[in-house]
Structure 1
Amino acid sequence: MKMKWLFSLLFISNLCWGSNQLVVDIISSENFSQRYEHFLAGRDVLDVDSFFPTTKGSHIEIIEMVLLQQALFLGGETRKVVFNPKPSVNILEFSDLIAGESLILARSVWHENIVDYRGSLFISDPLVEVGDYEAGLYVTKRNVALQQTPLSQLRQLNVVSNPQWEVDWRALMNTDLHMVSFIGPWETMLAMVESDVVDTMLINFSVSDSLTLNFEGKEYVPIENIKVVLPDSRHFVVSKNHPEGVQIFAALNRGLKILKRRGVLKRALTESGFINKKVANWQVANAEMLVGGD
């Protein structure tokens, strides 16, 4: 009888503990936790008002983790967010969300990739507006000649890309570059650039002052004065089939509207280097596919 009472007490305690937490799924294959904690540097996530990078490499994943929590809180969801690493969560796989086994992801996703799942997923207001996502054509730093390729001579170069990354693929198809299809890890594609199998690869602009990307001791730089605009918006997604989906989606969208009205979204993307002022006046390689051209 005593053991049964103890088990009941533990069960109730666990329920109460769980009710004070909101579980958000994140990609387990990426080491976000260390960079996330380094960025917070002891700050409460709700107090973060400066989004300048504190580590090398892409910074947008960490900023999204922060903005998601701030939006939820401002929208009325005050539970503590707990990030849950899941191997099945990636940028192209939404089966757990569709089934209601996951509630929400900590990453934004392309609208084009989720529009066909509107029956099962709530799509938030945009975190990244159409036209704000720009990337560089990265080449090896040692190849000075490639770095200085003019826009008029892009047709002489080939670029590697994954056709499953539909937005990237479509943007590159609208440049003069010759496409090389490769379905495999991002790191392998970068190795193809390093070994001169291909000339270039589309990568988010680095947050470093020189725009240099340093990966495993090797350096890559963007072709000077050329950028590619990825013509789509990015959104958070919430499961319609999860018991809390309606509530969380409402809070998230309310909060995103507040952050946008206060100018926090734009400032976060700019300070983090995602919207990179250094390339504001660079030529757009796929300008013809954009509304009104460039």
Structure 2
Amino acid sequence: MLRQIIGVVLCLLPWFAAAQEPAQSEPLVVDIISSENFSQRYQTFLQGKNPLELNDFHPITQGSHIELVEMVLLQQALYLGGETRKVEFRAKPSVNLMEYSDLIAGDSLLLARSVWHEDIINYSGSLYISEPVVRVGEYEAGLYVSKLNVALHDLPAERLDQISVVANPRWQVDWHALNNIKLNIISFIGPWETMLDMVENQIADAMLVNFSVSENLTMTFLDRDYVPINNLKVLLPDSRHFVVSKRHPDGARVYAALNKGLHILRERGVIERALRQSGFINSRVMHWQAINQHMLPTTLWGHK
């Protein structure tokens, strides 16, 4: 009888093990911003290549590029960490607003883009926080003004207290950075596009925007051009991370694979190369004056 029981148990072990693993035929669903243009730019960026084999991150599309790079890095990290299911990006309206309620509830697994550590630190009981994709001190932005507002193009740092910058107080990292600079802040809670309209119509003089990947750093939106104030940059004093739901059934497994893979990518230099090739760490502003350098830990000052 004992031999029969042992035999039955041994037969059932593979079934129990398989039950603990997600079916390989099922995709790993990742939330992404709801934007047809955004999805189109991702496919254009890939140019038909397998994202797991991509090693050239130079931009070939207009607009912000970091989101596209992160979609690729996310897939490569998961695969290197042992999560071999195919990733399927699905648009979700809540991602546009950067809400975390679906992740906290376990209705979503993870986001396709990184988020500021400061924004999610209070949710650490419900969310796994990955190794940093963007480290403290690597995120730099410019004070963008209308190209038509020529008088501000070469404004020196000592005259920043004469201009106004529109900012959303809900963007905590931007808000803290700007509040550590002697300038005038116009608080505005609303669409990013409306803030650009305010700059175009000179209701506000400038807006904090990560540097464009164009050759001359010009950002074009709706056929209107915006340029950064020359030789001045703002450091965003925080790190960015992927987040995974702790309440989702796959959360712990996916988080472990993601963190392992990110560590491998960091050691191989892939993450830094991707950030530099994509223009996110922009060589064109390497020697520009960081007007809020004092906000960074002193251990980082040497490499800036």
Q: TM-score, normalised by structure 1?
A: 0.92
Instruction: Please name the residue that 2:232 is paired with.
Output: 226
Q: Displacement, 1:31?
A: 2.9
1:195 aligns with one of 195, 201, 213: 201
Instruction: Please name the residue that 2:9 is paired with.
Output: none
Rate the CA distance shift 1:231–1:30 in 2: closer, same or farther, 3 A.
farther
Instruction: Please name the residue that 1:124 is paired with.
Output: 130
Are 1:29 and 1:87, in contact at CA under 8 Å, matched by a contact in 2?
no
Range moving further from structure 2, 216-225 or 83-92: 83-92
Give per-residue Cα distances to partners, 1:201-227, cap 9 Å, x unaligned. 000100001000011100010000000
Instruction: Please name the residue that 1:96 is paired with.
Output: 102
Instruction: Please name the residue that 1:79 is paired with.
Output: 85
Which letter maps to 2:51? V
Secondary structure at 2:57's aligned position in 1?
coil
Are 1:51 and 1:268, in contact at CA under 8 Å, matched by a contact in 2?
yes
Instruction: Please name the residue that 2:74 is paired with.
Output: 68
Give per-residue Cα distances to partners, 1:59-78, cap 9 Å, x unaligned. 00100100000000000011
Give per-residue Cα distances to partners, 1:89-142, cap 9 Å, x unaligned. 245310000000000100100000000000000000000000000000000112
Which letter maps to 1:186? W
Give per-residue Cα distances to partners, 1:181-236, cap 9 Å, x unaligned. 00000000000000010100000100001000011100010000000000000000
Which letter maps to 1:208? S
Instruction: Please name the residue that 1:267 is paired with.
Output: 273
Secondary structure at 2:186's aligned position in 1?
strand
Distance 1:30 1:163 in 2: 28
2:39 aligns with one of 33, 37, 41: 33
Instruction: Please name the residue that 2:149 is paired with.
Output: 143
Rate the CA distance shift 1:60–1:30 in 2: closer, same or farther, 3 A.
farther
Q: Displacement, 1:33?
A: 1.2
Distance 1:85 1:36 in 2: 13
Which letter maps to 1:104? L
Is 1:114 aligned with 2:125? no
2:26 aligns with one of 20, 24, 42: 20
- Flag structure 2 segments of 5+ consecutive residues without an equivalent: 1-21
Instruction: Please name the residue that 2:169 is paired with.
Output: 163
Is 1:42 aligned with 2:13? no
Are 2:30 and 2:88, in contact at CA under 8 Å, matched by a contact in 1?
yes
Q: Displacement, 1:30?
A: 6.2
- Flag structure 1 segments of 5+ consecutive residues without an equivalent: 1-15
Instruction: Please name the residue that 2:257 is paired with.
Output: 251
Are 1:91 and 1:109, in contact at CA under 8 Å, matched by a contact in 2?
no
Is 1:291 aligned with 2:280? no
Distance 2:97 2:241 in 1: 12
Q: Percent identity?
A: 63
Structure showing greater Rg: 2
Rate the CA distance shift 1:199–1:30 in 2: closer, same or farther, 3 A.
farther
Secondary structure at 2:32's aligned position in 1?
strand
Instruction: Please name the residue that 2:245 is paired with.
Output: 239
Distance 1:175 1:147 in 2: 18
Secondary structure at 1:25's aligned position in 2?
strand
Aligned residues: 279
Instruction: Please name the residue that 2:19 is paired with.
Output: none
Q: TM-score, normalised by structure 2?
A: 0.89
Distance 2:117 2:23 in 1: 35
Which letter maps to 2:241? H
Distance 2:259 2:36 in 1: 26
Q: Displacement, 1:17?
A: 7.7
Distance 1:180 1:287 in 2: 22
Rate the CA distance shift 1:220–1:169 in 2: closer, same or farther, 3 A.
same
